[in-house]
Amino acid sequence: MNWRGDIHIEHVMPPEANILRALGVPPGHAVNNRTREAVAAGLEELRTIAEPRGVFAGVAESEFASIYEGEGDNAVPSPLAEIFPRADELALFAVTLGTPVSERIAELFTSSEYALGGALDAAASEAAEMTASHVVQTVLGKVRHAGRATDETRALGYSPGYCGWNLTGQRALFAALDPGAIGITLSDSCLMEPVKSVSGVVVIGPARIHDFNDDYDFCAECATRDCRDRIRRITELDV
């Protein structure tokens, strides 16, 4: 189960509300026209210059166990260590929006176009996450198409740097997947370039295998707690 290719930008264009939230505007808060115009302009820039593409490759549980172990820096215990052995299938993935987006953001800040630069940055961050979600669902689609899914089969992505999976895990992940094929490189500090990129593992199986309490030591330092939303979203699909 391998795939690599371009993703149509319209599949990953974030809604205005997501960008406003990323810019710190509370949901439902009225914003002025100038803010709305900056967000619209940021979205248009994104539509014009983003080059979303992705890659994924199926991986056996034993192989992923080694990848996950990485350099031995993960938190112990961690949710993913308990989740992935219960998966029906696993796939490594990486996505990127390409270099031009990052270059344009830098250019806008250099030329004092801060609001547009901020809007494009927020839009690109959201789009990168949506590109990752798109690829996660593409993996699930492949599994379904191959007749290996049941009604309760779901897919959820996990990334190094989150939920106890140490960022240094990127090295083993990159060695196994080769995201360089879609233009992503990894720095010595495990930073992906272009910056608007996401990598990780797609865990495929029933929604219930993802259920965990957010009371690990590292959860206290997590500002988003978006694991709750992610788990709820795939669980609600079961209803």
Peptide bond connecting 15 to the previous residue in cis, omega within 30 degrees of 0 = no
Q: Is 101 in the site for another protein (CB under 8 A)?
A: no
**Using CB under 8 A, which of 27, 28, 76, 112 touches another protein?**
112
Q: Is 223 in the site for another protein (CB under 8 A)?
A: yes
- Do residues 74 and 66 touch, judged by C-beta distance below 8 A? no
**Using CB under 8 A, which of 2, 5, 31, 180 touches another protein?**
31
**Using CB under 8 A, which of 18, 133, 159, 166 touches another protein?**
166
**Using CB under 8 A, which of 58, 79, 118, 179 touches another protein?**
118
What track of x and - describes contact with another protein for positions 177 through 196 (by CB under 8 A)? Answer: ----------xxxxx-x-x-
Q: Is 40 in the site for another protein (CB under 8 A)?
A: no
- Do residues 53 and 182 touch, judged by C-beta distance below 8 A? yes
**Using CB under 8 A, which of 1, 9, 13, 25 touches another protein?**
25
Measured from the Cβ of residue 181, the count of other Cβ atoms closer than 10 Å reads 11
- Do residues 65 and 203 touch, judged by C-beta distance below 8 A? no
Q: Is 167 in the site for another protein (CB under 8 A)?
A: yes
**Using CB under 8 A, which of 6, 60, 114, 141 touches another protein?**
114
Q: Which residues make up the interface to another protein (CB under 8 A)? A: 23-26, 29, 31-32, 34-35, 38-39, 105-106, 109, 112-115, 117-119, 121, 161, 166-168, 187-191, 193, 195, 221, 223
